[in-house]
Amino acid sequence: MAKRRADGLSKEVIVQAAAAILDDGGEAALTFRALTARLSTGYGAIYHHVANKSDLLAAATDAVIARVMGDAVAEGEPREALRTVSLGLFDAIDAHPWVGAQLSREPWRPALLEVYERIGGLLVALEVPERALFDAAGALVNYVLGVAGQNAANARLLAAGQGDRSAFLATVSAKWASLDPGEYPFVHRAATQLREHDDREQFLAGVDLFLAGIATLRG
Amino acid sequence: MAKRRADGLSKEVIVQAAAAILDDGGEAALTFRALTARLSTGYGAIYHHVANKSDLLAAATDAVIARVMGDAVAEGEPREALRTVSLGLFDAIDAHPWVGAQLSREPWRPALLEVYERIGGLLVALEVPERALFDAAGALVNYVLGVAGQNAANARLLAAGQGDRSAFLATVSAKWASLDPGEYPFVHRAATQLREHDDREQFLAGVDLFLAGIATLRG
DNA sequence: CACGAGTTTGGATCGGCGTTCCAATCATGC
DNA sequence: GCATGATTGGAACGCCGATCCAAACTCGTG
């Protein structure tokens, strides 16, 4: 009933197809039925190469992160290199929102090892004292993944709700502005900035804040 | 076929039951079938008060966050108050891991308004300059939710894998230690600290790093 | 007190999902 | 050429969220 395929069906091929489906239609679009259709095969063939859906998602996520860490060469001044690496991760997760969701569901993936190594190494180059190194690296990685994940959630929200970003921000901003300034002074005041802010720049501002804090540890 | 119940079935009752199920068995345990069993009712009754599962999860999350923000009174010195509020959120998400997952899936919940207001207000008290206020608040909130979410993911992982925390950390730590020091110098070196670190303390160290960075903006 | 309109309830049912299982087919060593 | 194991495709299972509807209740109105 089943001939051996001319194209080799391997885990890599399956993972690549899964990533394509995820990029096209988001997490909800990735089903084994959609996979069998795209690969013109059956469930058995897929399950022969992949343990289950979690395994598939994890492998696809690892592939994306590994590619980002391979592409983003971090040379030169450590501070600038840290910003470059962070932005690379942010952009990748922004482009593939499902990666953000997966990383907040399953940390400790092998792919994150590369991230820790890269960021930790750059902190060493920044001469962060030994005792603070581990905490600083953890905080920075968590910040990067956390913000990128939140940003990815927004991206997914917008993709699903078919509104564009500025319209969405205008709505939320209007809601913030309409709050009682007595009860919500800060949020009321921040409404304008919310509407006009750039996610990428705000992310970088956070990274800089971190680096400024880390700089106070030196010596 | 259906008599009116003596106990009033309301959205609040349903949300509370949902939260109880989530606390007991995690996200996977919350099904409408489990809900109908616990509440001794049918699907129709539940769907009459709740739009869908997303709505239910969102309402349960809002309830938890609202309670935390109500409990954690932040008085006294702003820096200490910021640490208290942050820790309150961290602990709440640690105790209810599903909240962390939900917040990284659906930000911009009304409950987060309170969080922004509280943290933003404390940053104002810290005399953070106007132009940096918005970015600083966004970064701090994202850090807190991001780390807490990652921590919740670990908690879920441990709950599902039935291993205890120290055993899990020992495993990962051993894996890190066994890496080639030439290829992974930082991770190899950090293995020991990974095994011995305290999540809560590391979280607070990150908050302090942030506050140190924010302090450099003053004036 | 009667009664109809609107609200609330419980459960049968639907389509879709992840996963399991198995018969059929291919590649390869003997 | 034949046995053996790897690989393939698809039928079937159990569970899920969600829909739909008839039954039972509440309450204002006359």
pLDDT tens-digit series, residues B41-67: 999 999 999 999 999 999 999 999 999
Helices vs. strands in chain B: H and E counts, helices first? 11, 0
Mutate: best of A143, A197, A208, partner B, most B CBs <10 A: A143
Nearest-10 Cα torsion for B2, B7, B9, B13: -150
pLDDT-based confidence at residue B157 (cuts at 50, 70, 90) = confident
Tell me the nearest-neighbour CA distance from A1 into chain B, angstroms: 37
Q: Which residues touch strand D (CB under 7 A)?
A: A 1-5, 8-9, 36, 39-45, 47-49; B 1-4, 30-34, 43-44, 47, 52-54
Inter-residue contact B184 to B113 (CB < 8 Å): no
How much of chain B exceeds pLDDT 90, in percent?
83
Number of CB pairs < 8 Å for A and B?
A: 181
The packing angle between helices B53-71 and B110-125, to 10°, is 30
DSSP state of B5: P
Looking at residue A190, its pLDDT comes to: 96
Q: What is the mean pLDDT of residues A142-157?
A: 91
Mean pLDDT rounded to a whole number for chain B: 93
Q: What is the mean pLDDT of residues B192-205?
A: 96
DSSP run (H or E) holding B162: none
Q: What is the mean pLDDT of residues A68-91?
A: 91
Among residues B3, B35, B29, B32, the alpha carbon closest in space to that of B16 is found at B35
**Cα A192 to chain center, whole Å?**
27
Q: How many CB atoms lie within 10 A of CB A12?
A: 12
Q: Is the pLDDT assigned to residue A106 strictly greater than 70?
A: yes
Most confident of the ranges A12-26, B73-87, B144-158: A12-26
Looking at residue A163, its pLDDT comes to: 79
Residue whose structure tokens are 């598939």: A56
Of A120, A121, A209, the CB nearest to B139: A209
Looking at residue B2, its pLDDT comes to: 47
How many Å apart are CA B72 and CA B87, to the nearest integer? Answer: 9
Q: Is the pLDDT assigned to residue A3 strictly greater than 50?
A: yes
For B206, counting Cβ atoms within 10 Å of its Cβ (0-12 exposed, 13-18 middle, 19+ buried), the class is buried
Mean pLDDT rounded to a whole number for chain A: 93
Query: Which residues, 6+ apart, have CB-to-CB distance to A134 below 8 Å?
Result: B190, B193, B194, B197, B202
Q: What is the mean pLDDT of residues B177-185?
A: 97
pLDDT-based confidence at residue A1 (cuts at 50, 70, 90) = very low
The chain A residue lying nearest B139, using CA atoms, is A206
Looking at residue B88, its pLDDT comes to: 96
Question: Per this entry, what is the length of chain B?
Answer: 219
